[in-house]
């Protein structure tokens, strides 16, 4: 069976595109290890330090190499809602699960920025789905970009909590 010249050219073009994609994945992963991960962590730690009245913490979830996440999570807190009739002498206090934002490495090495909204278990019927904000190249990650996403996160969760 003879492959036509046109088909060989098309295969060659697609093979080049695929090889380029694989090189880009490796480049992005190396950049995450050498710069991006620390830049995100350092910036989120600075935000946490500068705004201590918000009870939040920075977590690095790195049990899967090349599939890591750095989160800024607002701590769980009392919701202010409780049962009015105690069971066995105890009044149940409902807990509000804190909101979070994350910077997650994707399989492609790109970074997904996302938000998770607060949630009061056993009070709210459904938990709001995670809001995927953007997918970016690691080369675009800078302190001012991270700070802008934190600003948007706070704005969005404030608006959300004002309307529930």
User: Do 134 and 113 form a contact (C-beta atoms < 8 A)?
Assistant: yes
Look up residue 46 and give its two tokens: 């600075």
Higher pLDDT, 7 or 37: 37
Q: Does position 5 have pLDDT exceeding 80, yes or no?
A: no
The pairing of strands 111-116 and 119-120 is unpaired
- pLDDT at 155 (0 to 100): 97
- pLDDT at 76 (0 to 100): 96
Domains of the chain, by residue range, sit at: 5-163
From CA 90, how far away is CA 112, in angstroms rounded?
A: 43
- pLDDT at 1 (0 to 100): 65
Q: What is the pLDDT of residues 109-130, one digit of tens each?
A: 999 999 999 999 999 999 999 9
Q: How confident is the model at residue 92 (pLDDT cuts 50, 70, 90)?
A: confident
Distances (CA, A) of 99 to 12, 74, 124: 48, 5, 14
* Mean of the per-residue pLDDT values of the chain: 94
Beta pairing partners, 82: 93
- Which secondary-structure segment (H or E) carries 146? helix 143-163
- Which secondary-structure segment (H or E) carries 7? helix 5-31
């Amino acid at each position: 069976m003879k492959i036509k010249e046109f088909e060989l050219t098309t295969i060659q073009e697609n093979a080049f595109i695929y090889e380029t994609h694989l090189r880009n994945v490796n480049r992005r992963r190396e950049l995450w290890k050498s710069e991006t991960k620390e830049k995100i962590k350092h910036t989120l730690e600075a935000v946490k330090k500068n705004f201590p009245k918000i009870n939040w913490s920075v977590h690095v979830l790195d049990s899967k190499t090349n599939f890591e996440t750095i989160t800024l999570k607002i701590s769980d807190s009392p919701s202010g809602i409780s049962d009015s009739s105690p069971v066995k002498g105890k009044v149940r206090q409902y807990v509000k699960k804190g909101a979070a934002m994350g910077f997650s490495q994707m399989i492609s090495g790109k970074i997904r920025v996302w938000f998770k909204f607060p949630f009061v278990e056993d009070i709210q019927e459904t938990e709001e789905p995670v809001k995927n904000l953007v997918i970016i190249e690691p080369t675009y990650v800078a302190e001012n970009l991270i700070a802008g996403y934190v600003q948007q996160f706070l704005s969005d969760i404030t608006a959300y909590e004002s309307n529930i």
